[in-house]
């Protein structure tokens, strides 16, 4: 499973509609509206890199109101559970 984190800049007047359209795309698991330099963060979870390209370049980028994207591929996931285990002293 490949996870891509996609930073999305969108037409400010259309952010809610853009977020809903992105969230409805196959391969998109979550969309968050955020503060800062970008407007939305979309999490794309697919089987291979070709699917990342298909979701982001062929579909997400073409959603009306999307002005630009920046895609980051995750190579390792850390959950709170994993971090607690890694830093545990074994004093249970």
- Domains of the chain (ranges; CATH) run 2-74 (3.30.70.920)
CA 92, distance to chain mean position in Å, is: 36
pLDDT of residue 76: 87
Residue 79, pLDDT above cutoff 80: no
Token pair belonging to 61:
């980028």
Q: Which of 57, 81, 79, 88 is nearest to 70 (CA)?
A: 57
Q: What pLDDT sits at residue 77? A: 83
pLDDT tens digits along 25-68: 999 999 999 999 999 999 999 999 999 999 999 999 999 999 99
């Amino acid at each position: 499973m490949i996870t891509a984190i996609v930073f999305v800049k969108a037409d400010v007047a259309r952010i809610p509609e853009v977020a809903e359209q992105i969230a409805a795309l196959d391969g998109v698991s979550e969309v968050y509206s955020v503060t800062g330099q970008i407007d939305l963060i979309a999490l794309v979870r697919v089987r291979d890199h070709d699917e990342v390209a298909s979701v982001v370049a062929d579909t997400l980028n073409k959603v009306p109101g999307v002005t630009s994207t920046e895609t980051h591929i995750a190579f390792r996931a850390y959950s709170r559970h994993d971090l607690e285990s890694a830093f545990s002293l074994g004093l249970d």
